[in-house]
Amino acid sequence: MNKALLVLADGTVFEGTNFGAAGETIGEVVFNTSMTGYQEILTDPSYKGQIVSMTYPQIGNYGVNGEDVESAGSVKVEGFVVKEYLDFPSNWRAGTGGVGSKSLGDYLKRHGTVGIERIDTRALTVHLRNYGSQMGIISTVDFHLPSLLEKVRSHPGIAAVDLVEKVSTARPYQWHQDCQPWCRATVKEKDLLKVVVYDFGVKYSILRNLVAEGFAVTVVPASTPAEEVMGMDCHGVLLSNGPGDPATVTYAVDNARKLLGKKPLFGICLGHQILGLAMGGQTYKLKFGHHGGNHPVIDLETGLVEITAQNHNYCVDLSSLHGQVRLTHKNLYDGTEEGMRHVELPVFSVQHHPEAGPGPNDAIHVFRKFREMIGGEA
């Protein structure tokens, strides 16, 4: 087994062994509390710039497959941290779907993603909860602590980088993938509503759920001018999830501001934050973020509690919007604001990930709400 080190910017050191690719990687270290779904996490563009540590102790037992990826191209996380990597996948889907790998370790190697195992992930999680998420470095080639600290401390941090441009599509495309088994109803072609999705790091599951609710989906690059979108004869616009600090994507905020009142708007995660900034509000960073599949969120419009998937470091301060919106969802763990609806315009958004299905379908109805807001039949 090859030695590997994880070193945090505050000087905390964890020694373990390497799995996946060898080498060195730097990113903001966060922990995820999901018990399953590691492949969806690895391929979620919202994790660009971050090293993800899983709190569940055994990872890799069901391998990888071609159906569970959430984005095109490579793995999006900068590094992967687990307590115990299991190199013997037992699920029948492992290796299917043209993924090119059967085991998680081989999958990470193919995509050049450095992993470290056999560290105390509980201690790491407690440290991040106490002191906050911070930059870290995983290395299998350099074990000199002063050298590693210099590398990680000289990194400007993910708030200084526009990570959206690194994960957004380069050109527009139509999403035609068959939505089975996600389809819940059959919508005739004449009843399809056209929706444009701004790709700030969109997940495939969002596109599938839009198709399932009777949308014809066009995905456009993150920097597409609002004027171009308004000329596309669409019924509505979705602002997708994505990585990093919303304040770095000023072009997205400007475009969202121009679309307000011109098209029905629906925002998810980063898209929610961009909408908040577009309306003149402010965002703030959480101490260690929300990353997991077990966050209870109350829908204040229905009184129902939904189990949600979360992956964000930033929140919108709804008080800074001075009455333009009303609060629709609230996190029952820490009271943070999880959703908003404009009091006059056809605009609403959620901070969590309804498409991730941890409930499994507690929050999926928001895609139906989007269609209803536009004026389509439910």
Catalogue the active-site residues. 269, 353, 355
Strand partners, 132: none
Distance of CA 110 to the CA centre of its chain: 22
Beta strands in 157-304 (DSSP E): 173-175, 193-199, 215-221, 236-239, 265-268, 282-299
Structure tokens at 162: 């526009």
Alpha-carbon span 297 to 38, nearest angstrom:
22
Alpha-carbon span 219 to 171, nearest angstrom:
8
What residue spans of the chain are helical by DSSP H? 38-42, 104-110, 121-131, 145-153, 164-167, 204-212, 226-230, 250-259, 270-278, 365-374
Alpha-carbon span 32 to 289, nearest angstrom:
10
**Cα end-to-end distance, the chain, whole Å:** 56
Alpha-carbon span 211 to 219, nearest angstrom:
12
**Residue 24 main-chain phi, psi, to 5 deg:** -145, 140
